[in-house]
Amino acid sequence: MESNCPLGVLMLDIEGSELTAEDRQLLARPVVGGLILFTRNYRDPRQLRELVADARNCNPELLIAVDQEGGRVQRFRHEFVQLPPLHRLFTVYQDDSEKAVELARSCAWVMAAEILHHGIDLSFAPVLDLHTDISAVIGNRAFAADVKTATDLARAYINGMHEAGMIATGKHFPGHGSVAADSHHELPVDTRDAEEIFRTDMQVFSNCIDVLDAIMPAHVSYPSIDSECAGFSSKWLQQILRQQLGFEGVIFSDDLGMQAARESGSPADRAAKALSAGCDMVLSCNDREAALAVADYLDTNHSAGNYRLSKLRATPAADISDLYNTEKWQAATDQIAALVS
């Protein structure tokens, strides 16, 4: 449901499978506009729906998100469809590109439909990084190594998400696949020249820019373009993404608690830099003290919220409410079961 109200620009997490009194107070703060859920927040479908309902009682406009890519990055597993890593689609594409494109659409529709069925607005997907032997943290989360195949599969996947009624978030702009370091633990530096980065990794984002609703930049430094990592760089986010590529959607920061981001100062400093660079919403996860510090900073500096974020609330397709009883669901999940077997 789309709202005309501006949303708070902070997305944060909670520790358990139920809200504490402190959680409720924090989610009700006007500067908080989003909640991201992790594996620790999930026991079973009934508990998940109750948690989502409780969170929305605290803040009816709250955006609720999860990373439900498939493969090793799938937060909800028990009683959810087992989703393949995106690179599994490439193996099909090699033999039958049309079948792989259809499977990409089906995987995305199933993922998005099931998430929406449980009251959650979005999954941060798809990964648009190129698949390489360099990055272990990306690895088989990426569709393919070449731009054309990655683009074909990504656009089909995005169409499947849209068919279910979910917005699509491309990550990690302009590409995390060509650096070995894991940004969760250190700041990766991509030393290639700008021409190569634009021609390869960033090209997938450029090719999908017309169908993407949101983008998440990488906590990666590309010194041939800017000394700041992409998520803190106005050159990357405003000059290249907004002006050069013409992107008009939402920009989410990646988690400001990741080690690669910590080099940019205190939690409040990181939030300030990300917002100043062009992010619409900042994520502060797995550190309640840091999230509180960011919220306190935002109370003074960004209390007006952001209207662009209100467009991200999900509008589920009509068949989502009775999802598990539809022929479409059965056919699509049969396709996926064959893919992951």
Where in the sequence numbering do the catalytic residues fall? 184, 254
Beta pairing partners, 226: 222
The rounded distance, in Å, linking the Cα atoms of 218 and 252 is 10
| Whether 251 contacts 230, CB under 8 Å | no
In sequence order, the 6+-apart residues with CB closer than 8 A to the CB of 23 are: 14, 15, 58
Burial label for 110, CB within 10 Å (0-12, 13-18, 19+), is: buried
Q: CA quadruple 179, 193, 151, 169: dihedral positive or negative?
A: positive
197 Cβ contact list (under 8 Å, min separation 6): 174, 175, 178, 190, 222, 224, 225
Q: What stretches of the chain show up as alpha helix (H) in DSSP?
A: 21-27, 45-58, 88-93, 97-117, 147-164, 194-199, 201-208, 234, 259-262, 267-277, 288-301, 327-340
3-state DSSP percent of the chain in helix, strand and coil, to 5: 45, 15, 40
Strand duo 226-229 + 221-222: pairing: antiparallel
Q: Could you check whether the bond before residue 131 is cis, i.e. omega within 30 degrees of 0? A: no
What 3-state class would DSSP assign to 76?
Answer: coil
Element (H, E) at 222: strand 221-222
